[in-house]
Structure formats: structure tokens, C-alpha cells
Structure 1
Amino acid sequence: MRGVERGFLVGVARDGGDADWPTEESLNELRQLATTAGATVVGQASQRLRAPHPRTFIGAGKVAELARQRAEEGIDLYIFDDELTPSQARNLESELGAKVIDRTGLVLDIFGQRARTYEGRLQVQLAQYDYLLPRLTGQWTHLSRQEGGVGARGGPGETQLEIDRRRVRSRIADLKRDLDRVRQTRGLHRERRASQSVAMVSLVGYTNAGKSTLLNALTGAGVLAEDKLFATLDPTTRRVRLPSGREVVFSDTVGFIQKLPSSVVAAFRATLEELGGADLLVHVVDASHSDAFAQADEVDSVIASLDLVEKPVITALNKIDRVADDWPPQSLPETIDRLRESRDNAILIAAANGRGLDDLLLAVDRALAEDLDALVADIPYVEGHLVNLWRTRGSIETEEYQADCVRVVGRLPRNLLHRFERYRVRVPNTRAGRRGTGSRSR
């Protein structure tokens, strides 16, 4: 970026619009996005409209007002809170005499800065090229934004001034093929984990809800965790041992945000497909945020759009330490109490200082245990590796050491039962034994 750009935010309040996201709150989030991208926000304006103007999105009078402000305040960049059509962006740039980007372009700029892995960069580039393609014109004048600055980094780069639609489409096709290979590799990894009966827990949530902080607190993963929107973009997986002794994999995913176009979500399909292979979702909510309800609902909408509504969910109400001085908190703001009551399996946590994590892991343990079958087995000492397998893939209630074997009572994933079948026993007086069948054979 050529120095710090001075940005001005523009929003539109539509009659009958989304009551969950008042214009002022949406502009506050846009301000955070602009700051994350590296711009300095010098002001903002909004206009109430029945419908966006087809030529300039906002009315002609508001355009003229913004043009006057540009000369007075030295504005380099106008950032619109809604997605602009290519023609609207060009017309606005012509009349305002400054660079114009929309919320989607701003988010893609941040993605370009944050992507670190090969997969992450592929997904960002695909989203940016999809965004660029309809905005190409024969004159190329509107592509001056590609020379640098907010809305222009981390993706296709400066050579875009020299490319044409055919080359962009060719590049999109190449990226999709590369991402298909990534998806296939991820699918193989999921199949291997499934064959080993390693359960997957995926962290989901609105951007900056604290997912990376939670993963770090649980695993010491060392994932970048900053108080910024989209501080992390690339998925991270780490093993976690639950209170029962069972080992599972926790996966962090890209955060969601309102007004994110479906085309951008589609570009991140390789990452989001990990959610489809999850055995459990942990929905991390910034309970201290004034828009916690709306943010949680937005994540629910994305989960529904990915056909994941049947997945079991635990809600981790995070950052409770920002609204309560004691732990466990004796009293909470009414909004948090209502949020907790509105969600099944809601757990209070403060990931930054490690509070509530034991309760969260217990809840995860209980939720995953529902997919385990009860078993009692007498395992010979020479088969000690089977006991270790049981400890890491299932849960053990008791171990009784006998003369030639250890009697284990507990639960195991169904696809591992055949490994223990020859040692299965019936013990009528134990809960696990009542569900067992057959007797031990050697």
C-alpha cells in the first residue's frame, strides 16, 4: 500500500431492511474491516433509500456531497457497505474522482493479506478472480486499484492490467482444478481419520469470536490470535485429549461475517467441507459483543446453507471475562442470560485466560460418547496395545487387573468393535455389560 489510505465509509439503510443489523452497527463492523486492511477511516455517511440507485447505488445528491467532502478532507478511498455492481463502481469512481470498493472487495483484500498456506492462497485467488471477472472493461481504467492499496493485495497482483477475460477464465479454471486436488487430499485425510475412529470437532463462529484463542488454549497450537477481524484464515487441526482419555481432533475454520456473497463462500468450499466431516460443531460466540445475537444467527444461517443443521452443536459463549469479574460468574447481563437460554448445550468460557475449558471438554466428551457402543472385554496382557487403542479412541470406565488379563469396561466406536470381539464378555451387573452380547472366547 502506498502510504496509509484515508477511507470514507458509505452505508445505505433500506426501508424494510434487516432489523438484526442496523446501519450504524454494520458500519461499525465495516470500520473494523477497513482498519484491519490498513486504511485510516476519516468519516462515514449513510442514506435511507427505498431501493439502491441503479447507476450509483446512492442518490445523485449524496454523490455530489461525497465529492465535495473528498476535496475538503483528502479522501483516497470510498468503501461501500454493500456489494456494488461493476457499473456502479465505475460510475462512482468517475464522479467521486477516487478509488471505490465495496464490502466484498475489502474482505477479499484482508483474505489476501492473511492467507499463508497453499490452500488458503488458492481459495483467495479464486474468490478474487471471480470478483474481478465481471469488472473487466476494454479500457481497464477502473483497474488502477490493482496498483496497490486496500482492495488490491494478496491475490492476482499487478499483472491484471495486462490480462483479458479469456486469461482470467483460464486462470479460474486452473485454480478450480488445483482446489479439486486439495479437496481430494482433504477427503483422503478425513477417510483415514474415520478408519482410525478419530472423532473430529470443528470450531465455527463469527470472525473474531475467539476460535483461534480457544484452539490455542486447548492445544497450545500457536495459531495467530489477534483482536482483529479475520486474524486467521487458514484451517488448523490439532489433537486434544478429552477427560475420558479419548483423543479427538479439533479443527479451526475461517470465521463467518454478514453480507458475504455466496461466490466467496463457494471459493472456500475445500475448507468448509471439513465441517461436513465433523462429528461435532463447537459454535464459538463472542458473548460480550453488542451484536452477539445477530452474529450467532448469521453463523446459523451459514451452517444451514452448508446443509449441516443435523450436526450436533455445542455453543461456547466466549469472552465472559469481559462482562463478569468473578468465576464462575454469579450474575450476567440479561442479554447473555437470554443468549444462553436460547441455545442448547451452551457453556460459558473465557478462552483468553482458560476459564470454563474443563466444562467445555466435558460437554464435548458427553456429546461424542453418544456415538460409542458399550463393551466389556477381558484383554490379555500380551494384547496391551488394544487397551491403549481403547484409551485413545473410546472411553474407559474401569480397568480391573486379573491373573491373565485386564477387564475393561467402557465404550468404543462401532467400527472398532471387531478388534475386540474375541475378548468380549457378558457382565449383567454393569451398564456396559447389559449392552454387550456374546461371551469371551480365546
Structure 2
Amino acid sequence: MFFDRPDSGELAILVHLELPKAVAADDPREFEELVLSAGGDPVEMLTGARSAPHSKYFIGTGKLDELLQLVREHDAGLVIFNHELSPSQERNIEKELECRVLDRTGLILDIFAQRARTHEGKLQVELAQLEHMSTRLIRGWTHLERQKGGIGLRGPGETQLESDRRLLRARIKTIGKRLEKVRKQREQGRRARSRADIPTVSLVGYTNAGKSTLFNAITEAGVYVRDQLFATLDPTMRRINLPDVGGAVLADTVGFISNLPHRLVESFRATLEEAASADLLLHVIDAPADERLHNIEQVDLVLEEIKAHQIPRLLVYNKIDLMEGMAPRIDRDDLGKPVAVWLSARDSQEDRAGIELLFKAISDLLTDDMFHEKVSLSGDMGSLRARLHRQNAVLGESYLPDGRCEIEIRLPQVDLKRMLSAENIDLQDLAVQPQQDSDDERLAV
């Protein structure tokens, strides 16, 4: 490692200050869950309130004395702040406490480093860590900041600090190029799915809302699931079949959290672009959570940051099995369009409830602009008929005495328009015969 510091221990003292809203820390309960997810053993939480952070220690000198006493009392090797510390503040606190000090960003980075499994995920975490480390490099090399003078030690060579900074910049540049290659590969995959008219549905939501459990319930993919924050880090994609839609791609993404470090958002941009380019977002919500509304707001903020806030969205309220008297249902707006689904995506099939309602709601949203009619094709329209069959849009067909083929078709209007344009055929040439369906199912092109 770059840092000449005391070894870290798992016993941790937590620090949470109440500050003005503009710089307020996050929920202390969530903070403790983060520490537990990182493998820490929180033995004490120091709390307090200030009108503004102390410029040198973030906490006041009185609280710093209390913190030092707690560290010695518990023989703790780690102090974690539920705030973002400046490099100088972190360095000053470490000097006073003589133990490892970590801020909220460093804690989340550590969790991500533990969870990364794929090559891409590891690269993304390393990039975020290096960028975070580059601002704090000086404190680890204070003993080598300048080359010492004296016989045999004079010379024009660069300092150790400058050398390490150069190595860091080179590594960051290398990882950036690799991730750019990954981003281009993902973009090629998205273009291929677009050409094949395969819609993409992405799961998003606050960490530990049950996204991976729901993903497994839908796809039986066997994705790692555990009741902890950021259990899923690496993105997973699976093909699913939806009623009236056919094939679709379902993507599971990393969970969001309050004040998600900007470096992580930037480093994971290649992964988050799967959500930004989806046809539909499933916003999975921990329904019984007390902080449900706050979590929804935080997810909305991240979606806005990655420019995915305008994508159609379906709210999925999960874990209703923990809510007394709650049954699975679909909530619809005044036009009958699904806006929310209440369900329980338990690990065992016997305990799950509402998954079929989710499929129906997704299908309704993805087939919102469907063409479902009987049409009559003349003998010279065989190429169009073949296209409709390849699209799996033909529900039934028969031949008329005059040689025309009468077929019942159901497909998105945009797909039908594309086919007719490619074949240079006008809709009126098809002799449309309306089906006896409900008005919301039968839409004119």
C-alpha cells in the first residue's frame, strides 16, 4: 500500500454529527448497516451537533478528546465518520488518534471493493479508489515529500510523492481506456438489441430493496442475494419472455444510496448506462421501510444525474409480506396505465406473491401502442407476410376464395409502420378488418 499508517482493526468507533440540512449526515441506522456490510464491528457511536464542521478536525476539540478516550477504552483500530472528510481533516484526526480514520466515501468504496466479482466491476472500483486516493496521497508519504540533502543524496530526480502521483495518473488513464472499451461493447450490444426490436427493462432502486431477489424470481438466474447493503455490485442481464411482447432483456443494476459518491457514479457510468438506455425502469422499493419516501427521492436524484429520469418508470413495492393485511395489486392512473405494483419477491416460490401482476403491468406498458387487427394480404405481399411471421406477430391466418391471405396480427404500431415502409405498402392496401376488442387494446396506426 501507499500509506505508512497504523494497521486497521475491525473494532470501529462511529462518528455521526447533526449538522445544518445543507451538509447533514445520513441516517445513523443506515450508517451502522454500511459498517456491518463492510465487515466492521461497531462498538460505540459518538454523536453530537455543530452549526458547521470544524476546519481542522471536523468535530470540535472537546469531541475529539471524547473520541480519543473511546478509541483507547475499546482498543479500536478504526474510526469511521458518517460524513465526507477533507484530506487534511482525515490526516489531522489520524495524527491525534493514532489509528485508521475513514470517511463515508472511503467506507462505501471499501464495500464495493469487497463485492466486485467481474473484471469490469473490479476495474470500476479500482478507478474510483485511485481517484479518491490521489487526493490523499501526500499524507502517506510525508516522510518522503522532499529528497533529503547531503552527500550522495543531491540530484535532479523527482520526489517519491511526484513519482507515485505519476504512477497513479498512468494507472487511472489505463483503467479509463479499458472501461471506455467496455462502454463501447455495451453500446454495440444495445444497438444490436434495438435492431432486433428487443426491449430492455432495468431494475433500479435503493440498496437492499430486494432488486436481486426480484430478478431471481423473474429469471431464476441465481444471482447472489443477501440481506445487506450493496449485496449486488456487478450487473447481470437475462432474456425473459413477456405476454404480448415476446423476448425482452432484464438488467439488474447496482443499488443506489444517499449521497452516492460522485466518483462511483462516474466510474460506474458504463454500467449505469444500461439503466439510462432502457425502454422501461422498474423502480424497486422496500415497501415497509420507514424511510421509503426518502429512498425514493434519493433514487430519483441518481437517475437524474445519469440522465435516466425521463424514461418510463413502474414503481414496484416489494416485501409486502412484512406488511399486515397487504395483498398484491396493480395501481393504475386515470387512463388505466399501470403506475405501481405491490408484490413479494421471496426466495421460495411458495412465499412469492404478485409476480404475475408485474408481468402483466410490464406488458401493458411495453405494448401501450399496439396494433391488433385482421388484415387481408394480396398474393404479391408474401414478403410482408414473411416479415410478420418472423416478428411472431401472426395470431392466425386463412385463405380467401379470391386468393388473398387473411391474417390476424398483433404487434407494436412502430414495428408495423417500419415494415410497411420497407415494403412500400400503404396501410389501406391491407383491407383492415377491426377486431372486436376493447378500445384500449385496438389502436389505429
**Alpha-carbon shift at residue 140 of structure 1 (Å):** 2.6
Between 181-190 and 350-359, the greater mean CA deviation after superposition: 350-359
**1:366 alignment counterpart:** 364
Distance 1:283 1:63, change over 3 A: same
**2:156 alignment counterpart:** none
Between 408-417 and 62-71, the greater mean CA deviation after superposition: 408-417
**2:343 alignment counterpart:** 349
Q: Among residues 10, 13, 19, which one is paired with 1:8 in the alignment?
A: 13
**1:333 alignment counterpart:** none
Post-superposition CA distance 1:124-168 (Å, at most 9, x none): 1111011000000165379xxxxxxxxxxxxxxxxx999611110
Distance 1:429 1:377, change over 3 A: closer
**1:168 alignment counterpart:** 168
**Alpha-carbon shift at residue 327 of structure 1 (Å):** 3.5
Aligned pairs for 1:305-324 within 5 A:
305-324=305-324
Distance 1:406 1:112, change over 3 A: farther
Aligned pairs for 1:243-262 within 5 A:
243-262=243-262
**Alpha-carbon shift at residue 326 of structure 1 (Å):** 6.0
Post-superposition CA distance 1:373-409 (Å, at most 9, x none): 55644589x9887555433xx6x7x534447856123
How far apart in 1 are the matches of 2:443 and 2:62? Answer: 77
**Alpha-carbon shift at residue 346 of structure 1 (Å):** 1.4
**1:153 alignment counterpart:** none
**1:42 alignment counterpart:** 43
Instruction: Give the aligned residue type for 2:10.
Output: E
How far apart in 1 are the matches of 2:338 and 2:22? Answer: 29
Distance 1:222 1:250, change over 3 A: same
2:396 is the counterpart of 1:399: yes
Distance 1:239 1:206, change over 3 A: same
Post-superposition CA distance 1:190-232 (Å, at most 9, x none): 0000000000111100001111111100010111111010001
How far apart in 1 are the matches of 2:338 and 2:304? Answer: 16
How far apart in 2 are the matches of 1:305 and 1:434? Answer: 36
Distance 1:277 1:95, change over 3 A: same
**Are the aligned partners of 2:338 and 2:364 in contact in 1 as well (CA < 8 Å)?**
no
How far apart in 1 are the matches of 2:77 and 2:189? Answer: 46
Instruction: Give the aligned residue type for 2:396.
Output: E
**Alpha-carbon shift at residue 81 of structure 1 (Å):** 0.5
How far apart in 1 are the matches of 2:224 and 2:326? Answer: 28
**Are the aligned partners of 1:208 and 1:231 in contact in 2 as well (CA < 8 Å)?**
yes
Q: What SS does structure 2 have at the residue aligned with 1:46?
A: strand
Post-superposition CA distance 1:349-372 (Å, at most 9, x none): 101133111111111111111254
TM-score normalized by the length of structure 1: 0.82
**Are the aligned partners of 1:93 and 1:99 in contact in 2 as well (CA < 8 Å)?**
yes
Distance 1:322 1:185, change over 3 A: same
How far apart in 1 are the matches of 2:66 and 2:256? Answer: 34
**1:427 alignment counterpart:** 432
How far apart in 1 are the matches of 2:81 and 2:372? Answer: 57
How far apart in 2 are the matches of 1:295 and 1:287? Answer: 11
How far apart in 2 are the matches of 1:413 and 1:253? Answer: 30
Q: What SS does structure 1 have at the residue aligned with 2:430?
A: coil
Q: What SS does structure 2 have at the residue aligned with 1:233?
A: coil
Post-superposition CA distance 1:404-433 (Å, at most 9, x none): 856123123624654465697232433788
How far apart in 2 are the matches of 1:221 and 1:163? Answer: 46
Distance 1:86 1:344, change over 3 A: farther
How far apart in 1 are the matches of 2:319 and 2:365? Answer: 23
Distance 1:312 1:347, change over 3 A: same
Aligned pairs for 1:141-152 within 5 A:
none
How far apart in 2 are the matches of 1:34 and 1:16? Answer: 23
Q: Whose Rg is larger?
A: 2
**Are the aligned partners of 2:8 and 2:100 in contact in 1 as well (CA < 8 Å)?**
no
How far apart in 2 are the matches of 1:131 and 1:318? Answer: 35
Post-superposition CA distance 1:11-52 (Å, at most 9, x none): 11113457xx8x6x7111111111111111111011211111
Post-superposition CA distance 1:57-94 (Å, at most 9, x none): 11111011110111111111111001111111111111
Between 104-113 and 235-244, the greater mean CA deviation after superposition: 235-244
How far apart in 2 are the matches of 1:119 and 1:407? Answer: 47
Instruction: Give the aligned residue type for 2:110.
Output: D
**Alpha-carbon shift at residue 54 of structure 1 (Å):** 1.1
Q: CA RMSD in A?
A: 3.1
Q: What SS does structure 2 have at the residue aligned with 1:345?
A: strand
> Structure 2: any 5+ residue segments left out of the alignment?
1-6, 144-159, 332-336
How far apart in 1 are the matches of 2:276 and 2:34? Answer: 28
**1:189 alignment counterpart:** 189
**Are the aligned partners of 1:375 and 1:412 in contact in 2 as well (CA < 8 Å)?**
no
How far apart in 1 are the matches of 2:125 and 2:161? Answer: 19
How far apart in 2 are the matches of 1:238 and 1:413? Answer: 26
**Alpha-carbon shift at residue 98 of structure 1 (Å):** 1.0
How far apart in 1 are the matches of 2:373 and 2:217? Answer: 33
**Are the aligned partners of 1:197 and 1:416 in contact in 2 as well (CA < 8 Å)?**
no
Q: What SS does structure 1 have at the residue aligned with 2:138?
A: coil
**Are the aligned partners of 1:375 and 1:435 in contact in 2 as well (CA < 8 Å)?**
no
Instruction: Give the aligned residue type for 1:399.
Output: G
Aligned pairs for 1:287-306 within 5 A:
287-306=287-306
**Are the aligned partners of 1:197 and 1:413 in contact in 2 as well (CA < 8 Å)?**
no
- Count of aligned pairs: 399
Instruction: Give the aligned residue type for 1:355.
Output: A
**2:151 alignment counterpart:** none
